[in-house]
Amino acid sequence: MNRGELLKLYKEMLVLRNFDEMCLNLKMEDLIMDGFHPYSGEEAIAVGVSSVLNKDDYVISNHRPQGHSIAKGSTTRAVFCEMLGRRGGVSQGIGGPMQWIDYENNFYCGSIVGSGMTIAAGVTMALKKEKEGRICVCYFGDGASNTGSFHEAMNLASIWKLPVLYILENNQYGEAMPAAEFVSVNPISKRGGSYGIEGITVDGNDVEAVYETVNTAVKKARTGIGPYFIECVTYRTRGHYGGDPEHTYRTREEVEEWKKKCPIKRVKVKLEAMGVSEMELDGINKEVIAGLESDKDWALEQRFPTLEEATDHVWIPSE
């Protein structure tokens, strides 16, 4: 990747990291009223994947959706509002921090683990009939790979040759349980073989590796060669949720070891080797933080939905 391309991804990852850290504080201040699941440490996946998607492609995400949504094109202002349950949010504040729709960006997420897998199969069944080369990415975690819908969806996607990319973010833990204790295979991508899908495992903390792998798969999926199952190996450097007593199930040393493999630091080192000054890179970070602070302040001034608005978009049959 050249310097310009890498700088763009660097900045996008910084947006996700800073957004996440600000949300963690909002959660501690009791301003986010539902579960918030930090994405810190996993940014290379959302950014690498989205860099090869078009606006009219679909993304189905899970209970940790903020990075996926912003990388797909949702504005940080609208996602802040949604986190805070305010009008102006991607779903006008009636979705909350883990279930929203960004209609304009074809982005959908929900908090029921594994639920997106079969939805993505349905979406891509429609896209296949449409024959316009659009695809769908479905993000899920190591825990979700044990749900029934994972296996149903993989089989359907394979038998119908659907233009879908199942992106497994293996962040090593299903809540507080290490993946090695509950997933029967390692790498998890081996499970693709059971359904005739080629499973690929990639370093999920290397944004260029994610980009290369996904780019190849997306190009093929657009021409009807698919589906794909790509496992991105990563680590969430924050707890499962804001306030998670994470050190009861993993050691500080383990977290610190993974922080050394931080996807943002890795790109920073590479950019410095390409001749970009540390001052310029820190300047980008400051600019990102200033923009996010202003978006957050704006979001905090927006009103809450009214009780009547809570049933907007809900179909209530008349007698």
Interface ranges with another protein (CB under 8 A): 25, 27-30, 35, 242-243, 245, 247-248
Q: Enumerate long-range contacts of 27-31, CB under 8 Å, 24 or more apart.
A: 27/242, 27/243, 28/242, 28/243, 31/84, 31/300
CB-wise, 18 or 69, nearer to another protein? 18
CB-wise, 24 or 59, nearer to another protein? 24
In angstroms, the Cα distances linking 224 to 79, 130, 196, 260, 274 are 33, 12, 15, 39, 38
CB-wise, 25 or 311, nearer to another protein? 25
**CA-CA distance, 34 to 143, in Å (whole number)?**
21
**CA-CA distance, 174 to 188, in Å (whole number)?**
13
Tell me the closest approach of the beta carbon of residue 185 to another protein, in angstroms.
33
Tell me the closest approach of the beta carbon of residue 259 to another protein, in angstroms.
11
**CA-CA distance, 230 to 57, in Å (whole number)?**
18
Q: Are 181 and 154 in contact (CB under 8 A)?
A: no
Tell me the closest approach of the beta carbon of residue 63 to another protein, in angstroms.
14
Tell me the closest approach of the beta carbon of residue 30 to another protein, in angstroms.
4
Tell me the closest approach of the beta carbon of residue 34 to another protein, in angstroms.
8
CB-wise, 196 or 243, nearer to another protein? 243
Tell me the closest approach of the beta carbon of residue 235 to another protein, in angstroms.
18
CB-wise, 37 or 128, nearer to another protein? 37
Largest CA distance in the chain: 70
Query: What amino acid is encoded at 273 in this protein?
Result: A
Residue 138 token pair: 């479905």
CB-wise, 93 or 242, nearer to another protein? 242
